[in-house]
Amino acid sequence: MTEMTAGGNLALPDGELTIWVPGPFDLSVLVTGDSGKVAGDGDFVFYNQPSAPGARLEAGGVRLDPRRLRAGASRITLVVSPADAGLALGRLPVPTLTVTGPGPGTVARFTPPRPAHETVLLLAEVYRRGGGWKLRALGQGYADGLAGLARDFGVDVARETGPSAAGPVRSGPAPTGPTPSRPAPSRPVPPGPGARPGSGSGSGSARGAAASGTEAEFAALVGAERRRAGVAPVAVDGRLSAAALAHATAMARQRRLDAQGADGVSVFQRITAGGYRYLRLEQQLVSGPRGPAEFVDYCLSDPATRAPLRDPGLTEAGVGHAVDARSGAFYWTALWAGPFTLAGLAGTTAEIVALTNAERAAAGLRPLADDARLAAAAQGHCADMADRAFYAHTSPEGHRPWDRAAAAGAAHRGVGENIACGQRTAREVVRGWMDSPGHRANILAPDFTHLGTGFAGGGPAGTYWAQVFGQV
């Protein structure tokens, strides 16, 4: 292992890297080319957008695979900010970066000098040099906040003016810092006792589970636990089990737990590709247990992993496991869902409107009227982002929020939009927006009069949310 100092450089091993920064921090990632600018908003990976090609946030760190970065990417900048918005980094422990590679052991560690009044720290960067990749230790403080940093890297965080809008046209910028209730990126459940999580990305074969027997035993064990908790049993859905089996097989092939397979397909995309639609979803990715009984016992061993088994709002489930033929390690995927219904979607979007108006009422502002045309624009954009696996205010064809509102029949002279991905509930997403200055400004803008909201499940992030605001 190499102990690095500010300004130092180190050649990195080929393959996937994991970079850990434990402590009361948020880690963000900016993917850029040689110009030092992002190619689009999707190159800014943070808690409201936890993944991009080749980069995925996890609890306490980020997983990087330079081989899977978008075309033209040559630099990955790692940024640390306080998890408690408004705190200076100097009031927190000094962040320490630890890098592990595809092989055993630690590659490098870097502890920068203690920051002072800065609220953001450029901690390190991974950059292309020749045919390989290197790590540069930075430790550079930044006083203008995460939003200012994002602007300097070319992320769209400023007010936007539509081509024909007379009023203000806004889109939500990157947040300057979350609170403890911030949305968490989707991540695997850690292995239980005796688990053998693989490492690296080998391409060996995996043996699929006998789904019918596994499903039946799983359903019986879970049904008994739910009855003890006073909750109705779940219905095992074959589409969920097929997606679970496919994802467990993908994990066994790459010999690691991950919400995304080596083919770039997320567990959420496998679900929706099979024709299943959901309003809520919890996934458990586990290695180690050798049968349904051991798997359920592991899930019951901790309050966090036990929660989906007892959640009355999760009424359907699927399970699958696969075995890595090289090591004999078992890989499991369990999926717990609240299925999509039109009534459920209406309830979810109505809750977002109610929570938004509660924030406006607390600020002494009039409520926003629910607008079906703006809701159609919001819902269409959420579905489009999930279906085509992008996350941005601008669609791949260049359509902007006001374009979508006009196409839906809305005639508002001012339009704004907030988007988010990865949050699991309406309350969680509104809280995240309120903790971001730019999104909060849209919610509390006195000149907005109407609101439409949308939600879709699927895509790389699992959930996509949108608010479209209108001014008459």
What average pLDDT values come out for the chain (472 residues) when binned by 10 residues? 86 92 88 86 82 87 91 92 76 89 87 82 91 90 70 59 33 28 31 29 38 81 94 94 94 87 88 95 91 92 89 95 91 95 95 97 96 95 93 89 92 90 91 86 94 95 94 90
With beta carbons less than 8 A apart as the criterion, state whether 330 and 318 touch. Answer: no
Contacts of 249 (CB under 8 A, 6+ apart): 206, 208, 320, 322, 331
Instruction: Look at residue 2 in the predicted model and tell me its pLDDT.
Output: 87
With beta carbons less than 8 A apart as the criterion, state whether 52 and 185 touch. Answer: no
With beta carbons less than 8 A apart as the criterion, state whether 145 and 158 touch. Answer: no
Measured distance CA(213)–CA(241) in Å, rounded:
12
Q: What is the pTM of this model?
A: 0.62
Task: Please give the structure tokens belonging to residue 368.
Answer: 């926003």
Measured distance CA(161)–CA(168) in Å, rounded:
7
Instruction: Look at residue 128 in the predicted model and tell me its pLDDT.
Output: 92
Measured distance CA(388)–CA(379) in Å, rounded:
14
Instruction: Look at residue 413 in the predicted model and tell me its pLDDT.
Output: 85
Instruction: Look at residue 169 in the predicted model and tell me its pLDDT.
Output: 36
